[in-house]
Amino acid sequence: MASEPQGGLTGYITHHLTHHVLVLGDGGNPFMRINLDTLVVSFLLGALFCLWFWVKARRATSGVPSKGQAFVELIVEFVDTQVKDTFHGDRRTVTPLALSIFMWVAFMNAMDLLPLDAPGWTVKAAAGEEAAHHTFFRWVPTADLNTTLAIAVAVLLIVFGHAIKAKGAGGFGKELLTAPFHAHGVGAKIALAPANLLLNLIEYFSKPVSLSMRLFGNMYGGELVFMLIAGLFASWLSFVPGVVFNTAWAIFHILIILLQAFIFMMLTIVYIATAHEHH
Amino acid sequence: MNVNMTFLGQLVSFAILVWFTTKFIWPQLNHAIEERQKKVADGLAAAEKARAELKDADARAAVEIRQARQQAAEIIEKAQAQANQIVDKARTDALAEANRLKAAAAEEIASMQQKAREELRGWVGRLAVQGAAKIVQREIDVSAHKAMLDQLAAEM
């Protein structure tokens, strides 16, 4: 997907920000579309994570670990320590959840470090310039709101599950109406119930929004910066600065990749921990 | 950034991923980690115990070595005393034996002297009788003069 002479940098960026879309039905409903690139890449990365950790977990010994096992255990223990510090309860489902989020998000974020034009070159080499011009492929799944929102909503559902399990359906419903403003007396309680419910709904709604938007924004922005830097490579004059900026941004991006994955994981743990707290 | 069916796809993918991690990855790894932690803790405790035991054994060994040394010294002393005793006894025995042998030899000499003397007496008696017979030119009845001859022999 080399930059087109007539499109310039804007055309190049627009091209790179277009998904490989599979249209379901007649295409009239904008929801009935599938971003095939996001789905395939994220699925492959998830499978890679599963395969890697599964192989190590299957061969795991309590004796002297191999280097591979030690590395995997390092990650697992790192995640488990975070969970232990924040969440005081049965960790049998919480730690795997945190581990999945951390590894999957980190893997998907790391796709940002692969060359922007690699899919385009592959298509160009295989099918020619014309085919590449009409092929769209974005391979950073977390720069697609669908991915981040899906994980965030899943986290919210899990948080609901934890809240209901900890307090019972009745207790959870009651808390929606009676917290955070506490009142004494039936009349006052009824008067405060709408305000409490509204606040709680906003609070619960804001959780997936902030979770998904933070990750999406960081990765989308990071990708965009890579594209802008790639624009420098269009001229020999700006080639060397382009290389410098590209390297600098990539190194900085390593931090963002892991930091965003860590933040997503930590917030998930914090939400689950607060779901267990009684007001 | 339009949300579409991909959202549902990712939701399902995430659910599968979490299920897989919960079922096949976390329990095994956690089990291995916890077991190793226990092993390490046990090992450290065992090392601590072994160190204490070693200290104990060292002290005991020192005491025993001291005792053994003392015993050895006692045994050597006793052995020397016994050896001295044996040498002394041997010397005494040898002396006694020598004395005994000397006494026996002296006795034998005495008895042989006595015997020789007896024999000499007999001979003298007979010589005297023969001499006397020659002198008187006749047979002397030995049996008739025995008493006289014996007296003569005894006087010699």
What one-letter code names the amino acid at A149?
A: L
Residues of chain A neighbouring B2 (CB-CB closer than 8 A) = 30, 33, 145
**Average of per-residue pLDDT values in chain B:** 89
- Would you tell me how many other CB atoms lie within 10 Å of the CB of residue A104? 28
Tens of pLDDT along A44-54? 999 999 999 99
Interface of B with A in 27-56 (CB under 8 A): 27-33, 35-36, 38-39
Strands A33-35 and A21-23: antiparallel
Residue B92's pLDDT is 95
Q: What angle do CA A116, A119, A26 make, to 5 degrees?
A: 110
How far is residue A121's CA from residue A128's CA, in Å, rounded to a whole number?
9
Query: For A57, which of B11, B17, B25 is closest by C-beta distance?
Result: B25
| Listed ranges A225-229, A235-239, A266-270, A275-279; the one with the highest mean pLDDT | A266-270
Task: Give per-residue burial for A188-199: e unless 16+ CB within 10 Å, then b.
Answer: eeeebeeebeee
For the cut 50, the answer to whether the pLDDT of residue A2 exceeds it is no
| Mean pLDDT in residue range A77-102 | 91
Distance from CA of A38 to the nearest CA of B (A): 8
Give dist(CA A113, CA A254) in Å, integer.
8
Predicted pLDDT at B123: 87
The residues of A annotated with a catalytic role in the active site are 210, 214, 218
Of B13, B22, B36, the CB nearest to A96: B22
Between these two residues, B23 and B153, which has the higher pLDDT value?
B23
Q: How many CB atoms lie within 10 A of CB A156?
A: 19
B9: number of Cβ within 10 Å: 21
Token code pair at residue A31: 């929801």
Computed over every residue of chain A, the mean pLDDT equals: 86
Mean pLDDT of A195-206: 90
pLDDT (mean) for A195-207: 90
What's the pLDDT score for residue A279? 64
User: Model confidence at A5, in pLDDT bands (50, 70, 90)?
Assistant: very low
Residue A270 has pLDDT above 90, yes or no: yes
- Say which residues have a Cβ less than 8 Å from residue B26's Cβ, sequence separation at least 6: A57, A76, A92, A95, A96, A99
Q: Which of A102-106, A189-193, A261-265 has the lowest mean pLDDT?
A: A189-193
Domain residue spans in chain B?
10-155
Q: Which residue has the higher pLDDT, B124 or B48?
A: B48
Find the mean pLDDT for residues B82-87.
Answer: 95
Q: What is the mean pLDDT of residues B15-19?
A: 92
Q: What is the pLDDT of residues A144-173, one digit of tens each?
A: 888 999 999 999 999 999 999 888 888 888
Q: CA separation (Å) from A213 to A145, A147, A149, B111, B117?
A: 8, 11, 8, 145, 154
